[in-house]
Structure 1
Amino acid sequence: MHPSFTPPRQVKIGDAAAFAGTTSRAIRHYHEIGLLPEPERGGDGRRRYGYDDMIRLLWIRKMADAGISLDDMRAAFDEARDIEEDLGRLEEALAAKEADVKRQRAVVQRLRAVGSPLGLLSEPVTDRLGHLPPGALRPSDLDTLLVTERVFGPLGAAVQASVFIVLATHTDLRAEDDRLDAAEAALDDGVDPHDPRVEELAAQRYAHHKALEKAIEAAGLDTDEEKLFETYDADLKGEEPAQKSACEAVTKMPHDFSPARIRCMELAAELLGQDHSADS
């Protein structure tokens, strides 16, 4: 050290923050929570920080860079406490953060590869639909898959994707699907739930669903669905929707359907349920 240079015995908060690589606001917060003892103020009413204060502040910055929480820092400075449990929690938090970063990178890669909002959906869905030409999927298709993924999880949405693959490759089925969507939307225009058209439309929707099932089987997509579970089931453990069940999740999703439209949906579901009961 140059003999003519003499370090200050104490520094102001701004100089202390600059030296430690933090901010004055952060230092004040450390004082408020008891992490850094507040030094006495000088004659001008300002805090003055000495050598011991700076050492403590530097250790705080090191621990913050390591990801240690402020609460656990207090434990680290308390020599009477064993911080092994705190370090264990830190390791768990870092592992979870690493997993989040890994998932985020995977989403970015899918977005780059797919080049559309489809890449924001889970890997089983994007893999299943990635071979379709650009524009084959409508925004409303992606909306439906988004909701399905939230309610039934990635594999449920991947199975639902079979319908959109068929609709994208069969113009006649897409046209019928559009016709039924329009007819069902018209039920919202004050139609009585017991109007004969409601039951008739439910039967048409049921017939259309059966036609979609046949097209899915003819294309071998039902076999692909079995491979989906073999490929992704183990990898997706712990990624189920936050809701306790699909039924509960559905009740959380708002809608603007009329009573007539809801009854139409229920009647179509009953017809499909009868099929499943007969098959079992």
Structure 2
Amino acid sequence: MQSVELARLAGVSVRALRHYHSVGVLPEPPRSHSGYRRYSVHDLVRVLRIKRLASLGIPLEGMPPLLDDDSTSAAPLLERLDAELAAEIERLERQRALIADLRENGTPPALPPALARFVGLGGTLPPSSALDRLDRDQAVLLAHVVGDEGLPGIVEAFERLAVPELREATVLLTQRFDALDDATPREDVDAFVADFAVLFGPVVAELTATGLFAVPDSATDLLATLAGDLLNETQQRVIERFDELFPAPPREVPPPV
């Protein structure tokens, strides 16, 4: 039989047959006078065995010993495959649980789930505002730079800032910040900074001192660039004033070896 017939009988493509030849799991048969490969029923059986092994997850490069010698023990290979499948099942179960949580809470899938509930103050910011975009982008960047180990600290810091008794005042302050622009009178800007310091000063000072909200040095410039691209000049000056009000504690420099 020719390759087209073998492929049809085995339920594979002719391209797959050529790949089997190239990796060495299917020996190339002799060719006819017209130059076509001539396959036998034995080749069909070998291709079916290849498919069977592939269905178990055995890679082509690991098949020759099992195809050429039925006495070869497959126990170590099957044990490894079983462990890989168990790990994949665990990963898929975690992914399903995450998807179920996203569906139940209506969380945007592109946001880090742990921080999504803090983004945009739960929908109180207009989706078109620069501050809402900054909030979302910062959440994505923060989750990435702090990693799984640092994320609980960031979440705890956000929770400290998002206590229910401060929510109404927080929404109003956030909306006031979103409205700041070059036309905002200086006294209004000063009033905003003062109100923020009164409302959040103690909590921010404590978080800053304890380093709970600390991010790696490598991320500081990235976050600053992000804010600089999305906030207007007045809002950026307010952020600078916050940095002056709540300076980060000096980082300990390890002594020279």
Give the match for residue 93 of structure 2. Answer: 102
Q: C-alpha deviations, 1:103-160, integer Å up to 9, x for none?
A: 22123212321223068634x556xx49x99734765344333222222334245325
Q: In the alignment, is residue 147 of structure 1 matched against residue 141 of structure 2?
A: yes
2:211 corresponds in structure 1 to none
Given that 1:151 and 1:250 are in contact with CA atoms closer than 8 Å, whether structure 2 keeps it comes out as: yes
Structure 1: runs of 5+ lacking an equivalent: 1-10, 187-196, 217-221, 223-245, 275-280
How far apart are 1:248 and its partner, in Å? 6.8
Sequence identity, in percent? 26
Comparing 172-181 with 70-79, greater Cα deviation is found at 172-181
- Give the Cα–Cα distance (whole angstroms) in 2 for the partners of residues 27 and 269 of structure 1: 70
* Alpha-carbon offset, residue 32 of structure 1: 0.7
1:234-255 CA-to-partner distances (Å, cap 9, x unmatched) read xxxxxxxxxxxx6276279573
- Relative to structure 1, the CA distance from residue 33 to residue 267 in structure 2 (aligned partners, 3 Å threshold; closer, same or farther) is same
Shift of the 30–41 alpha-carbon distance from structure 1 to 2, 3 Å rule, reads same
RMSD between aligned residues: 4.5
Task: Give the TM-score normalised by structure 1.
Answer: 0.58
1:21-69 deviation line (CA, Å, top 9, x unaligned): 2211111111111111111122332222212211111111011111111
**Number of the residue aligned with 2:240:** 264
Pairing partner for 2:196 from 201, 208, 213:
208
- Residue 172 of structure 1 corresponds to which residue in structure 2? 169
- Tell me how far 1:17 sits from its aligned partner: 1.8
The aligned amino acid for 1:264 is: E
Question: Number of matched residues?
Answer: 217
- Is residue 18 from structure 1 mapped to residue 15 from structure 2 by the alignment? no
Preserved CA contact (<8 Å) 2:173 2:196 = yes
Whether the 8 Å CA contact 1:149–1:156 is kept in 2: the answer is no
Pair 1:247 & 2:210 matched: no
Confirm or deny that 1:49 pairs with 2:65.
no
Residue of structure 2 equivalent to 1:162: 159
The CA distance in 2 between the partners of 1:40 and 1:59, in whole Å, is 21
User: Shift of the alpha carbon at 1:215?
Assistant: 7.6
Partners of 2:85 and 2:6 lie apart in 1 by: 29
1:58 and 2:48 are equivalent in the alignment = yes
Change (3 A) 1:52 1:266: farther
Match of 1:112 in 2: 103
Counterpart of 1:150, as a letter, is: H
Distance in structure 1 (CA, Å) of the matches to 2:241 and 2:142 = 16
What one-letter code is carried by the residue in structure 1 that aligns with 2:143? E
